[in-house]
Amino acid sequence: MNEHFWLGMAVIFISGALNGAFPLPMKYTRQWKWENTWLAFTAAALLVIPWLLAVGFVPHLQDVYRGVPGRALLAPLIFGFLWGIAQVTFGLGISAVGMALAFAVVAGLSCLSGSLVPLLVLSPIDLFRARGVLLLISMPVLFAGLTLYGMAGRRREKEQTPVAAAAGAAGMSFMAGLAICIFTGVFGSNINLGFAFSGSILQKAVEVVANPVISTYAS
């Protein structure tokens, strides 16, 4: 148990570092249009690499999908589609308000929504236990932070010169960018919802792969 715990923590730290660094190439491709940069990112990160991981680590992947009812495949497909929309708006949010602010808002809302919804649907009794109480406590803190971000953004807009304001995100206002980040944060939680509500696929993949960690690539 302890071995898996520390392995999981190591994976979380590495994933966090990589996730925080993925927009850095945008600083060196300013001559590209935003659409071109984000197309390269989405093609690699959301299409090519996931399928390579699934095919490479889950043997008999076709048998996994054939062994579950078609209805079981619908939920992860829908959640994946909604999450894909969030990845597009994520890029717009970064362009509008900056990488640091976009990450703070999107990550906070995604973690909250992605944890709270499965808890309410799959195990509502846990809402008043330790992890549920911690989630409830985090909500006012998060909303207070969003309010302060909005106030700071309005103040920054008033202090900017017209030329500097027009240079940012094709003239998009800070509040519009913040709204995009909030939308992205809520919809970004669909990646966890896809895992949470695709139990039959994971169970079938575990039967085939005999490894709960690697089996997640199938969904």
- Least confident among 13-17, 76-80, 120-124: 13-17
Digit-coded pLDDT (tens) for 33-43: 777 887 888 88
142 pLDDT band (50/70/90 cuts)? confident
31 pLDDT tier (thresholds 50, 70, 90): confident
pLDDT per position as a tens digit, 144-197? 887 887 777 777 767 765 544 554 544 577 788 888 989 999 998 888 888 788
Distance between CA 86 and CA 181 in Å, rounded?
A: 9
In this predicted structure, what is the pLDDT of residue 1?
Answer: 47
Question: What's the pLDDT score for residue 55?
Answer: 83
Consecutive H or E run containing 182: helix 174-188
DSSP string of 73-135? HHHHHHHHHHHHHHHHHHHHHHHHH-HHHHHHHHHHHHHHHHHHHHHHHH-GGGGGSHHHHHH
d(C-alpha 76, C-alpha 149), whole Å: 33
Helix (H, G, I), strand (E, B) or coil at 1: coil
Q: What is the pLDDT of residue 84?
A: 85
DSSP state of 45: I
Work out the angle between the directed axes of helices 130-159 and 99-122 (0-180°, nearest 10). 150
Mean pLDDT of 19-25: 72
- Min mean pLDDT across 72-76, 86-90, 139-143, 198-202 is at 198-202
- DSSP code of 69? -
Task: Give the three-class secondary structure for 151.
Answer: helix
**What percent of the chain clears pLDDT 90, i.e. is strictly above it?**
2
Average pLDDT of the residues in 136-144: 84
